[in-house]
Amino acid sequence: MKTWMWAATAVLALGMAGAGYAQVSLDPSKPTAIASILTWSGDYQAKGFRDIEHIYKTNTVKRGPHVHPLPVAAKQIAPTFSYDGKTWTVDDYMKAYRVSGLLVLKDGKIVMEKYALGRKPTDRWTSFSVAKSVTSTLVGAAIQDGKIKSLNAPVTDYIPELKGSAYEGVTVRQMLMMSSGVKWNEDYVDPNSDVAKAGQSVTEPGVNPMVSYLRKLPRAHPPGTVWHYNTGETDLVGVLVSKATGEGLAQYASEKIWKPYGMEQDAVWMTDPGGQERGGCCISMTLRDYGRVGLFIAGGGVAQGKPIVPPWWVGDATKVEISNGQPPPAGYGYFWWIRPSGAYEAVGIFGQAITTFPKDHLIIVQNAAWPKPTGRELSAAYAAFVEGVRTAVK
């Protein structure tokens, strides 16, 4: 349990990457103020996370004509759990940690669904780094479609602008493992760090701004040897998918997930200054559609009986592919975090998560507006809540 809490803290701290950068304000007169998403607070924060498409430029991920059902189970749960020396109810937890939505699916059925902070079931909420796991899934779809030859294909086959850079010889798989070996500074409080400077504007016409920045970086390690969190690289994987498929990420996600699986509402995906959807950040969707993303992965990436990703994809993506400094059996897959508890997880700052326990057929979704992007106490509270849910569904 302590290991899981520590891992959650580490994940969320890393998930800050790129969250405040490379967005495009809809109001050109206020680009700096609006771009400071990390500093939003109170009611403005909750409203902003709910209405991101009215603040930043986005592209629409269109839903299809049918909706994947989420039946409500006859028996609903009301977990209580111990944390910080007291017993908590779900309502206590949501109020204390500014949680806007909680959804628990057991055997594909809703056993708990709650909303707060003025949010309704039809309201979307931004994902932050949960988007990385969706981008990974789109790589799998592109392999299934024959658009990406294999995980061992060089990234330069799809982003030729990277030829001659430190990305020469790096494979798609190594990118998904965050092990390219390219030097990258992910210090969020340093204005001169890579994460602060990357992708803010188009500096080379015709070249994606993140590609333009990353191809100038040196190599720190041989490819595939060292895990190093790099949100710029997850945006780069989004560029790779778009170049391989000839489609924007929003359009491809619509064709491969939203329409065939039956999401209930359109989603919106934030774009960078070059108009490219950000592979590492910020898809807005309803709480139930977060749950459907979890079900889609838990079901092997199959929609309406048709495999969207190769049969081996989900198993490989959601197992440890590389050590990320967490004690075994935890680690990192293909833009998924692997827990010692047997869960795999998509995580974003300010309290966004899709936590899946495959053996238990249990999916827990949280959307929140934590008062700060991350923190040990915030992560520990979520971990305690998760354990309370696991106990309640047994």
Q: Give residue-wise pLDDT tens across range 36-62.
A: 788 899 999 999 999 999 999 999 999
Domain residue spans of the chain: 2-393
Residue given tokens 């609903």 in the structure block: 76
Q: Is 50 exceeded by the pLDDT of residue 34?
A: no
Q: Is 50 exceeded by the pLDDT of residue 4?
A: no
Rounded Cα gap, residues 356 and 339, in angstroms: 10
Model pLDDT, residue 24: 73
Its pTM stands at 0.93
Model pLDDT, residue 22: 67
The fold for domain 2-393 equals Beta-lactamase (3.40.710)
Model pLDDT, residue 28: 66
Average pLDDT across the chain, whole number: 92
The token duo for 388 is: 């309370």
**Which DSSP category does 171 fall into?**
B
Model pLDDT, residue 23: 67
Rounded Cα gap, residues 152 and 267, in angstroms: 31
Residue given tokens 């060089």 in the structure block: 154
Rounded Cα gap, residues 323 and 332, in angstroms: 6
Identify residue 207 by its one-letter amino acid code.
Answer: V
Model pLDDT, residue 198: 86
| Torsion of the alpha carbons at 145, 151, 152 and 157, rounded to the nearest 10 | 60
End-to-end CA distance of the chain: 18
The arithmetic mean of pLDDT across residues 264-268, rounded, is 98
Q: Is 70 exceeded by the pLDDT of residue 334?
A: yes
Q: Is 50 exceeded by the pLDDT of residue 64?
A: yes
Instruction: Identify the weakest region by mean pLDDT among 117-121, 185-189, 253-257.
Output: 185-189
Rounded Cα gap, residues 126 and 13, in angstroms: 17
Q: Which pLDDT band, with edges at 50, 70 and 90, does 371 fall under?
A: very high
